[in-house]
Amino acid sequence: MITEVNSGKTLKCDRHPEANAVGGCIRCERLVCTECKIIWLGRVYCRLCVDELAGIEARLAVQRESLREKETQPAQKKAELAQKEIEIGKKEAELAQKEIEIGKKEAELAREEIELAEKENKITADLEALKKAVESMTIMQDQDRQRRKVSVKCFYHPEDDAVVGCVRCGRFICTKCKTIVEEKVHCRTCADDVSTSQTAQAAFFEIKSLFREKPEIHKESERLSLQLLKRNINDDIDTKRV
């Protein structure tokens, strides 16, 4: 393979016959002049081979890049799948957390339903007890009405029904015995006592005012009262001696 022209014979370039050759392409073995000579990777090439090799190298580079991309795509897809799996795991964890919260809420609702059922049962029991109490009270009231239907007789007239009670002595009296004194119901006996008491009180106040106006009458009354008291005491003593 010709790389350099060292012989004394002058050789011409294959592409430029007018130019002297200075070497040969190690790939195609063509003679090259200084214009066509290209040193690539420490070796002599012609321009055409270099262009071809450059194109091949470029294609190879593209192919290598394509292969590299194809090689990296599975890794990227794996990374994307891993990321998606992580996201799915997060979503599953969130769903699990939500399911736990839903379970707690369902448990709370169940507990509240139990409490409501207990309260309803208690209210129902209280209502039943209240109904029984009302029924019992109604029966007692009916019995009381039945007892009250028994007529009460007048204290002074047993043959007549009583219509009211005296506010002073509490005796039941009929319409004949009913007397109003100071806007209050009295029997005749209590009405007479009240009237007598009022008369005596009026007389007492009258005598008291008389004594206040005439003191000498008061003194004479006291003297006569003392004499009468002494006489009664002496009579009582003589009676006891006998």
Q: What is the mean pLDDT of the chain?
A: 78
Residue 192 or residue 62, greater confidence: 192
Residue 8 or residue 67, greater confidence: 67
pTM of the model: 0.29
The residue-averaged pLDDT of 48-53 equals 81
The residue-averaged pLDDT of 145-165 equals 79
**DSSP notation for the chain:** ---B--SSS--B-SS-TTSBP-EE-TTT--EE-TTT-EEETTEEE-HHHHHHHHHHHHHHHHHHHHHHHHHHHHHHHHHHHHHHHHHHHHHHHHHHHHHHHHHHHHHHHHHHHHHHHHHHHHHHHHHHHHHHHHHHHHHHHHHHHHHHTSPPBPSS-TTSB--EE-TTT--EE-TTT-EEETTEEE-HHHHHHHHHHHHHHHHHHHHHHHHHH-HHHHHHHHHHHHHHHHHHHHHHHHHHH-
